[in-house]
Structure formats: structure tokens, C-alpha cells
Amino acid sequence: MTSSTLITVAPTGAESAKADVPALPVTVEEVVAAARDCQAVGAAVIHLHVRDTDTRPTLDLGRVREVVAGVREHTDLVVQLSTGGAVTDPFDARLAVLDAGPDAASLTLGTVNFGRDVFANPWDLIVELHTRMQERGIVPEYEVFDLGQLATLERLLDRHGLPHGGHVHVDLVMGVPGGMPGTAQALTACLPLLPPGATFAATGVGRTSLPVMLAALSAGGHLRVGMEDTLTYAPGEPVRDNTQLVARAAGLARIAQRPPMSTDDARSLLGIKPMEAVL
């Protein structure tokens, strides 16, 4: 168990509309401001989905590069780009996100029902993402929506080797309608299937945010929070902003006596080069 807690903020996602959630950061300025404020209260990694000038999800490389540059200019956060995108995004555009040169990128380990949609992640796409990240020195965060995807991780590492940096970090994404439930029991069931030496974070979508966070902390795990996953702070109370969610996670991590990890320590844990080598 690490003595501190890696907190990732996922500020935007691809699912919520700005019109429905006015506090969602979608412009470059809003995302950068959210990143800066979330680092100030304990985030060390930012998981980024990008929106276009009409606030819709986009994988346009120019726009993605703009957001990456803005976050790097104003924060020390580890920049992790989503390669999951939106459920409608084609595989070639999801792969091309890596051309923006992030520190890290998400890599989902299997296809899963996603509400009424399907989030498609066939084996060949998984392998292509894994090997391209190895070649380019990008550190994957393996996203796991269901238990069987951990068997896919074992197969991937057996056949294609360790990721760049040599460390395996998994994010258990729980409570998606179609994936594993956001419960302490489901989280506990995943743990024996993690590769030796791997670290894990957990994310509970919607109302599973708090139970998953508490279960992850008690099991020695790390945390991902943010408006990608959670829009209600308490029953009937909309989330004010991403900072509110990161501050709550940081507070619980301190109570667990595993305070928020610094960005330098996060880079070292994940096998990412130090900030001065990035700029």
C-alpha cells in the first residue's frame, strides 16, 4: 500500500451536455481553470476529454493539442488523454489522440454495454493502443469496466509485455449501467486479479462515487473523481464544480492517513518522466 493517494480528476467526459450541466468545463479556459484549481486541492493527474467550440466531444487533434498545452502551461498535472472518446468515435480517431503527445492515456480492456450504447474495445484495438503507447513512451492507465477485463490485461501483458515505464496501473470504473456494480464487494472481487505489483484506482459512477471511494481507500487503492463520472454531490444537490469533488476525495484520503500524492510522486509511481523533461 502506498503511503499517499493518487487522485485523478476527470473534469469533463464525453457524455454530459453543457446545456444540461452549465458547470461542466468545456472551453480551453474552463478546462485549464478546473485543472489548476483541482491541483491546488489535491489532484495529481487529469483525465481529459476534449470539446469543440460548440461544446460537443471532439478528437480533433488541433483542439486536443491546444488543451494539452494549456494544462501543461498552467499546472504540473500528469496529462492523461482519453482514448475512449465518445461511444460514437471511430477507432482510428481514438488511436490518433496519441499523436498529441500526452504523458499518459486511458486504455479500456474490453467492450462493454454503456447505458443503451456499446463502448467498443475489441482485442485488436487494445493491442494497437498498447503497442503504440510502448513505442511512443506514453503510460497507459488500464480502464476496467468488468471483472473479465482483468483476464484480458493478463493476456495483453503476457503477449505484448509491460507498458512504457514498467509499472501497471489500473482504474476500476464501476457503476456504469452495463459494467460491474459500484460496490465494495465488486471492488474486492477485482483485487486478486490485478497483476503482481500493479496499483489500482477506482471510480464510482453517479451515486456509487462515495461507496467506491471509501472501499478503494480501505483496500489501499487510489481515486478518480470528477464531473465525467458524478454530477450530484449529495441527493438533490448538483455538483458545484470539479474542485468540490477533488476536495472531498482529498479529505477522505487524509482521514485514511494516506494524503493526496504530489504530482512528482505520481510521475515517479506511474513511470512518467519528470516535469522538467516534458517541457
Q: What residues make contact with Zn ion under the rule CB under 5 A?
A: 82
From 79-87, 126-134, 248-256, 261-269, span contacting ligand KMH (CB under 6 A): 79-87
Give the residue at shortest CB distance from Zn ion.
Answer: 82
Q: Which is nearer to ligand KMH, 107 or 250 (CB)?
A: 107
Contact between 68 and ligand KMH by CB under 6 A: the answer reads: no
From 8-16, 124-132, 256-264, 266-274, span contacting ligand KMH (CB under 6 A): 8-16
Q: Residue 11 forms beta bridges with which residues?
A: none
- Up-side HSE of residue 222: CA atoms within 13 Å toward CB? 27
Q: Which of 8, 58, 106, 199 binds ligand KMH (CB under 6 A)?
A: 106
Q: Which is nearer to ligand KMH, 12 or 199 (CB)?
A: 12
Q: Which is nearer to ligand KMH, 59 or 249 (CB)?
A: 59
Nearest of 255, 204, 252 to residue 225 by alpha carbon: 204
Q: Which of 82, 203, 208, 244 binds ligand KMH (CB under 6 A)?
A: 82
Residue pair 94/136 in contact (Cβ under 8 Å)? The answer is: no
Q: Which of 28, 61, 87, 275 binds ligand KMH (CB under 6 A)?
A: 87
Nearest of 43, 31, 40, 38 to residue 69 by alpha carbon: 31
Q: Which is nearer to ligand KMH, 86 or 223 (CB)?
A: 86
Coil, strand or helix at 160: helix
Task: Classify strands 104-108 and 78-81 as parallel, antiparallel or unpaired.
Answer: parallel
> Using CA atoms, how far apart are residues 226 and 8, in angstroms rounded to an integer?
8
Coil, strand or helix at 47: strand
Q: Which is nearer to ligand KMH, 84 or 182 (CB)?
A: 84
The conformation of residue 258, written as its DSSP 8-state character, comes to -
> Using CA atoms, how far apart are residues 267 and 262, in angstroms rounded to an integer?
9
Burial 22-35 (b: 16+ CB within 10 A, else e): ebbbbebebbbbbb
Give me the least distance between CB of 89 and ligand KMH, in Å please: 8
Q: Which of 7, 46, 119, 170 binds ligand KMH (CB under 6 A)?
A: 119
* Torsion 151-154-159-163 (CA) sign: positive
Q: Which is nearer to ligand KMH, 5 or 80 (CB)?
A: 80
Q: Residue 88 forms beta bridges with which residues?
A: none
From 10-18, 149-157, 198-206, 257-265, span contacting ligand KMH (CB under 6 A): 10-18
Residue 83 near which of Zn ion, ligand KMH, none (CB within 5-8 Å, type-dependent): ligand KMH
Q: Which residues bind ligand KMH (CB under 6 A)?
A: 13-15, 82-84, 86-87, 106, 108, 114, 119, 143
